[in-house]
Amino acid sequence: MSDRVLIEQRGHVRVLTLNRPEARNALDPAAMEELSAALRAADDDPGTRAIVLTGAGTVFCAGLDMKAFARGGDIKGLVWFYHRSVPTPVIAALNGPALGGGFELVLACDLVVAAEDARLGMAEVKRGLFAGGGGTTLSQRIPMALALEMGLTGDPVTAAQAREYGLVNRVVPADRVLAEALALAARIAGNGPLGVAMTKKLMRQRRWCTPDEVQEVFGSADAKEGARAFAEGRAPEWTGR
């Protein structure tokens, strides 16, 4: 692997940084492959209970690397993440614009902290394309008229507008984005990992739990530990089992 994605562990939080600032963190095949591998590795690590995804420099991600696309590079490396994300909660820390495939990365994340000057949008139609990485599902997240305006014009919205639409959790000064995202991740990481993963799964699937899913979490060692810790007035020690 090269250095297109920087990886840092901060306690139970894995920080992944897109590291092509000279290309506005655009996604070429190598970057997609590295980010895909980094996301899977973080999700497979039992010591990682939350993931923060951000960008180097002043742009989160400008989307598909059009030069690589023009050369015929494989652009399917992140399709799996766009479609189903990972069980571990992922927080997007938007240090700057998230456009095209970068915006679709944001949609695949669970929570979003954005810089005040960040812009979000789908510019694919301006290049004769469409948002094939999940952007067309935007109408399931926000009112149809707003989704269509973003998708058909290709014009971005401000971070403040995105928050009004319900796409962004927090808007903060640019120099506070990563710290705010890490604080949010730490709050998630302090909770029982089985309960967190099941909550994410069921909320994303928009459904009730099954009896087996109830037993999986409520019958776990972590559930017993949570009850004991509450009764004893101490912080729980989660094992993920």
Give me the active site residues, please. 104, 124
Task: Confirm if 103 and 84 have CB atoms less than 8 A apart.
Answer: no
Burial (Cβ within 10 Å: 0-12, 13-18, ≥19) of residue 137: middle
Burial (Cβ within 10 Å: 0-12, 13-18, ≥19) of residue 173: exposed
User: How far is the C-alpha of 49 from the C-alpha of 90, rounded, in Å?
Assistant: 9
- Helices 211-218, 193-205: inter-axial angle, 10-degree rounding: 160
The residues, any chain, with a CB within 8 Å of residue 84's CB and separated by 6 or more, are none
